[in-house]
Amino acid sequence: MFDSEELLARAATFETDVSNAIQKMKSKIVENTEQWVRESAEAREYDREVREEMKIAVAQETVLNKTLQKEKEEVQHMTKSIQQLSATLEDMNQTRSLHETQLELLRKEVKAKREAKIALKKALDEQVLKNKPELASFESFLSMRIVGVKVDHIGFVFTRISEQDWEREYTITLDVSQYQFSASDCSPALPELPSLLQYLNETRDFYGFMKRVRQAFKDFSKK
């Protein structure tokens, strides 16, 4: 005959091992998701700064080009009286040379920033590919999928919320263009959404935020 106490002990040990394994998997998913969100936010901020710097550089390049063109036209006009205006012409040539040097340096700077941006994007794309398996587990565990909405906006679609209709979709769209995340859409509207967003922005606990949003939708469906 089987020893019931031994069987109970083995069952308790097995249950503990399973719980520990699940907890480790959850912790890994949370860690990778938070890293993905953090790196995505940093990449967007870096990309924004580079774009702003490139706009400034292009504007400066345009101004310098116009200045050079104007100076060339003036040089052509003044060559008719080169003897009288030789000193002025020399000064203008020196200025033009300086502008051309500045323009070349500016072009090199823009090129370097563009190459750095491309390298960063490549690194982020590689990291996203590494995180896909963990992200898939995260989505499966919460019966949720992530959808692209538009630039700097991420949509989350939850199912298996309403006991009357497992396939009904509950959605929330986050605006991640700024350091402080906000919700651009939530269907159905959740009264506790401000406090949920406050929790996310204070803790950066993305996994915990998604769990709370799912529970809020579930509570809402029961009303």
CA–CA distance from 30 to each of 41, 79, 125 (Å)? 16, 72, 19
Say if residue 147 is in the same domain as residue 121.
Answer: no
Alpha-carbon distance of 128 to 135, in angstroms, equals 9
Same domain, yes or no, for 47 and 103? yes
Q: Is residue 40 part of a domain?
A: yes
Give the integer Cα–Cα distance in Å for 218 and 208: 15
Q: Are residues 68 and 92 in the same domain?
A: yes
**Domain end (from 130, 160, 175):** 130
Tens-place pLDDT, residues 42-76: 888 887 888 888 888 888 888 878 887 887 888 78
Backbone angles phi, psi at 164, to 5 degrees: -80, -25
At 168 the pLDDT is 93
pLDDT of residue 138: 60
Task: Flag whether 137 is in a domain.
Answer: no
Question: Does residue 179 share a domain with residue 204?
Answer: yes
Helix then strand then coil, % of the chain, to nearest 5 = 75, 10, 15
Q: For position 128, what pLDDT does the model report?
A: 41
Residue 190 counted as domain residue: yes
Average of per-residue pLDDT across 189-214 = 94
Domain boundary residue, one of 95, 130, 165: 130
Q: Check residue 113 and give its pLDDT.
A: 45
Q: Residue 112 has what pLDDT?
A: 52
Domain match, 72 and 26 both: yes
Instruction: Indicate whether 198 belongs to any domain.
Output: yes
Q: What tens digit of pLDDT does each residue of 117-126 get?
A: 344 334 334 4
Which domain does 98 fall in, by range? 1-130
> Among 7-16, 101-110, 114-123, 169-178, which stretch is predicted with the lowest mean pLDDT?
114-123
Identify whether residues 112 and 151 lie together within a single domain: no
What pLDDT is attached to residue 123?
Answer: 36
Helix/strand/coil (H/E/C) assignment for every residue in 16-60: HHHHHHHHHHHHHHHHHHHHHHHHHHHHHHHHHHHHHHHHHHHHH
136 part of a folded domain: no
Q: State which of 96, 130, 164 marks the end of a domain.
A: 130
Strand partners, 200: none
Query: Which pTM was predicted?
Result: 0.42
137: confidence class by pLDDT, cuts 50, 70, 90: low
Per the structure, how many domains does the chain have?
2
User: 205-221: per-residue pLDDT in tens?
Assistant: 988 999 999 999 999 99
Side-by-side strand order, sheet with 153-158? 144-150, 153-158, 170-175, 182-187
Does 16 reside within a domain? yes
Query: Does the CA dihedral 106-108-113-117 come out positive or negative?
Result: positive
80 DSSP assignment: G
